[in-house]
Amino acid sequence: MRIQSLWRYPVKSMQGEDRNELIVEWGGVSGDRSFGVVDITASAVISAKREGRLLEATATLTDAGLRITLPDGREFSPGTDLDDNLSCWLERPVTLVGAATHGSGTYECQEDFEQDESASVRWDGPEGSFVDESQLHLLTSADLAQLVRERPELQWDVRRFRPNVVVDVGTEAFEPWQPGERYRLGEVEIEIEKDCSRCVMTTRPQPGHLDRQLEVLRHVSKTHGNDVGVRARVRRTGIVRVGDPVTWLN
């Protein structure tokens, strides 16, 4: 098994970065979901679960700091100008905040994933990062290949699932990872926590001709108990790179 691809999402629910390497700290990937867009009126961190337009924007981290590109191609650094343009685009007063100083994020999604206007469900995430729940999210090549075999007419693009790590498990039969198992990924050691439950994010349209497909989540729910991929916690920090071996430890 080897690392196939690595992903980081500097701003929650915006397009992220396909990386050659990631620094993994105790709280997860350095720079991952380290910023979020807060709805000032609702006092909630906006997610594409409720506001799918966020996926049309792109966030990147460079040596110079965070850069956000809006759908019209304009680029901004954090500040009043960005907040004003985000508010205009999303048609509500919003501001960009850092997870390190914001505290626990409050999120919203709709009660019925097929009806964007259905009632909201609210929950609080962990402090220090705007991840929904766990420090790391992993997929395998087997996860995606199985979905393609089952429903080849659907768009099973990895971006629908927003993983941090995609592992190439080869062509042999693959036994799904189990809670409690430990693995080494490059310098990093992780422990599998549980399967990753999917949500409306998997159905959202995205740039690059990725269509809205409600059937994606319908199929995952019916055939896979609504789970694809796994969540994990960090047991040893370090650097992981594309091509690094993935080794079972226990």
Q: Where are the alpha helices (DSSP H) in the chain?
A: 80-90, 99-102, 141-150, 214-224
And the tokens for 49? 């679960």
Q: Model confidence over 159-202: pLDDT tens digits?
A: 999 999 999 997 666 778 999 999 999 999 999 999 999 999 99
Whole-number mean pLDDT of the chain? 92
Parent domain of 12: 2-248
Centroid of chain to Cα 219: 20
Kindly report the number of other CB atoms within 10 A of residue 175's CB atom.
10
Query: In the prediction, which pLDDT does 67 show?
Result: 97
Q: Model confidence over 43-66: pLDDT tens digits?
A: 889 999 989 999 999 999 998 999
Torsion (CA) 188, 191, 194, 195 in degrees, nearest 10: 40
3-state SS string over 54-113?
HHHCEEEEECCEEEEECCCCCEECCCHHHHHHHHHHHCCCEEEEEHHHHCCCEEEEECCC
Q: What parts of the chain have a pLDDT lower than 70? A: 123, 171-173
Query: In the prediction, which pLDDT does 121 show?
Result: 77
Query: In the prediction, which pLDDT does 50 show?
Result: 87
Residue corresponding to tokens 């105790």: 26
Query: In the prediction, which pLDDT does 15 show?
Result: 97
Torsion (CA) 180, 185, 188, 193 in degrees, nearest 10: -20
**How many structural domains compose the chain?**
1
Q: How far is CA 227 from CA 7, 66, 68, 77, 186, in A?
A: 20, 32, 31, 36, 26
- Look up the CATH number of the domain holding residue 132: 2.40.33.20
Q: How far is CA 134 from CA 31, 163, 230, 231, in A?
A: 15, 11, 10, 6
